Amino acid sequence: MASSRLEKIGTIYSRVRGLLRSGAMRQEDKPIWYDIYKAFPPKYEPRYDRPAPDVPLRSLFYPEDIIRAKFHKQHKSLPAVNLSDQHIPTQTQKFISTYNKLREEGKTVEENLYAAAVDVLNDERQNAVNVPKAETNSLASSFQDAQRDANVNIKDIFKD
Q: Mean pLDDT of successive 10-residue segments in the chain (160 residues)?
A: 62 91 94 95 85 86 87 86 86 89 84 86 76 51 57 66
Q: How many residues are recorded in the chain?
A: 160
Q: Decide: 69 and 95 in contact? Cβ < 8 Å.
A: no
Nearest C-alpha neighbor of 100 from the set 62, 126, 128: 62
- Its pTM stands at 0.48
Nearest C-alpha neighbor of 75 from the set 35, 121, 113, 109: 121
- pLDDT in the model for residue 125: 76
Nearest C-alpha neighbor of 71 from the set 129, 103, 107, 117: 117
> What is the DSSP track for 78-105?
PPP--TT-TTSPPHHHHHHHHHHHHHHH
